[in-house]
Amino acid sequence: MAITDLVRVYVPATVPLLAALRSTGQLGESAVVAHAVTPGLREWYAEGDEEELEYVAFTRAAQGALQLLRHDPAAPRRRVVVSADVPGSTLVREDTELGSSTVRLPAPIALKDVASIHVDGTDAAEVVAAAADVVEEALAGDPDAQFTVDSAEDHELEWYAVSELDELT
């Protein structure tokens, strides 16, 4: 397979999911929902260059991590995004709405496909916890909840090499 056949995906995760990635060598148990630069995202954000489009997909994955945190109260309050390079032919577009970046992979992400890991610093925990508590309301259009989620997005996720996975879990 040529390198151009690979697509960068951004997978929402949590610290416990990173621990599972470390122990099993894969992220997810079956199909994995992720974000990527899709044709719908390109069309919606036509003036954006590739880096801007990637940032949009990455940011949406970070918001997806908030949703995972909301449903896992025991997980440390830190957003996690796993960047991976997967064959483009394996991606299934989940949402064909203009601007959507959501894709699904039919199988778990293999550790060998992970390019990097992004995790909130511990200083973001309080803001991330507040955002996780209201992320569903923000998605439903509540402006106060959206303000709280935006406050979490003010914190940049820290970049880690795959070789640092043991230090993150």
CA 56, CA 71: separation in Å to the nearest integer? 23
Question: What is the length of the chain?
Answer: 169
What residues pair up with 158 in beta bridges, in sequence order? Answer: 119
Cα–Cα dist 80/128, whole Å: 11
Furthest C-alpha separation in the chain: 47
pLDDT tens digits for range 19-52? 999 999 999 887 789 999 988 888 888 887 899 9
Kind and range of the H or E element at 158?
strand 158-160
pTM, 2 dp: 0.92
Predicted pLDDT of residue 4: 59
CB–CB of 87/1 below 8 Å? yes
- Residue in the structure block whose two tokens are 């122990």: 23
Q: Which residues, given as ranges, of the chain have pLDDT below 50?
A: 1-3
